[in-house]
């Protein structure tokens, strides 16, 4: 007998919603930790610098619903706000991002709902990151609830830029002067150049080590 349910079924209180999203964050964070440990075990290399997780604040959820023309109801919240539960994975190099995304996508009990590659296709602001929306089954005593989690994967440099961009735009309440936006886009290009250079340097180091150990 299939006990799985969509999120909206039987979800009638804020406390239940928050319990499910917090549980989903724990599930996904554990999976990512295990993948990282396996990678270290197999390749002797740690692709993840650090992981951050958060639950979107109620006022942010309400603001997003109103901005998109929805009433502030629990039903609308779980249907139309896909990033209530979020995990950010910060890597050393851009190559790690796609490697991790592929590993996450192959997890049998995670379902990838959507992918947005803002690295190959940056936002107009210059923002870069790799986004995945997944659902993870939360096993309760009487049913299984598939719960959405947004996963963001980015480099240290991308995370630094995104954090400062958020703070700057927050001060201007989203209406920063044009010259600020232009400077931010220039900084995003500098960050992209830095990421590319660091990846190139890492590849060169790995190649040099291989030649050293092979006696070449």
Question: What's the confidence (pLDDT) of residue 175?
Answer: 74
Q: Which residue among 38, 59, 71, 150 is the active-site one?
A: 150
CB 37 within 8 A of CB 51: no
Q: Tens of pLDDT along 158-207? A: 999 999 988 887 777 667 788 888 999 999 999 999 999 999 999 998 88
CA angle 186, 191, 197 (to 5 degrees): 130
Q: Ramachandran region of residue 69, left (φ > 0), alpha (ψ -120 to 50) or beta?
A: left
Please tell me which of 41-45, 57-61, 112-116 the model is most confident about, judged by mean pLDDT: 112-116
Q: What is the pLDDT of residue 180?
A: 87
Q: Which residues are registered as beta bridge partners of 4?
A: 144
What per-residue confidence (pLDDT) applies to 161?
95
- The per-residue pLDDT for range 123-158, each reduced to its tens digit, is 999 999 999 999 999 998 888 999 999 999 999 999
- Smallest CA-to-CA distance from 48 within 123, 104, 110 is with 104
Q: How many Å apart are CA 140 and CA 98, to the nearest integer?
A: 32
Catalytic: 150? Answer: yes
Domains (range + CATH), the chain: 4-158 (3.30.460.10)
Of residues 94, 101, 124, the one with CA closest to residue 195: 94
Burial of 198 (0-12, 13-18, 19+ CB in 10 A): middle
CB atoms within 10 A of CB 90: 20
Q: Check residue 107 and give its pLDDT.
A: 93
Residue 86 pLDDT > 70, yes or no? yes
pTM: 0.87
- Which parts of 41-179 are beta strand (E)? 48-55, 85-91, 111-117, 130-139, 144-155
Three-state DSSP at 68 gives: coil
Q: Are 148 and 134 in contact (CB under 8 A)?
A: yes
């Amino acid at each position: 007998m299939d006990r799985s349910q969509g999120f909206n079924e039987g979800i009638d209180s804020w406390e239940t919603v928050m319990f499910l999203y917090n549980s989903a964050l724990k599930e996904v964070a554990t999976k990512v930790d295990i993948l990282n440990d396996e990678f270290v075990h197999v390749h002797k290399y740690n692709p993840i610098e650090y992981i951050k997780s958060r639950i979107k604040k109620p006022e942010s959820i309400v603001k997003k619903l109103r901005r998109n023309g929805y009433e502030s109801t629990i039903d609308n919240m779980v249907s139309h706000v896909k990033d209530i539960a979020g995990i950010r994975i910060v890597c050393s190099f851009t190559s790690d991002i796609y490697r991790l995304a592929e590993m996450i996508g192959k997890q049998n009990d995670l379902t990838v709902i959507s992918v947005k590659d803002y690295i190959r296709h940056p936002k107009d602001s210059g923002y870069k990151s790799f986004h995945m929306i997944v659902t993870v089954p939360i096993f309760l005593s009487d049913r299984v609830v598939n719960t959405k989690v947004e996963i963001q994967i980015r480099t240290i440099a991308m995370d630094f830029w995104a954090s400062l961009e958020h703070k700057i735009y927050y001060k201007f309440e989203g209406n920063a002067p044009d010259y600020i936006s232009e400077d931010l886009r220039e900084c995003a290009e500098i960050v992209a150049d830095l990421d590319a250079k660091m990846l190139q340097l890492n590849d060169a180091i790995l190649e040099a080590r291989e030649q050293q150990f092979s006696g070449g």
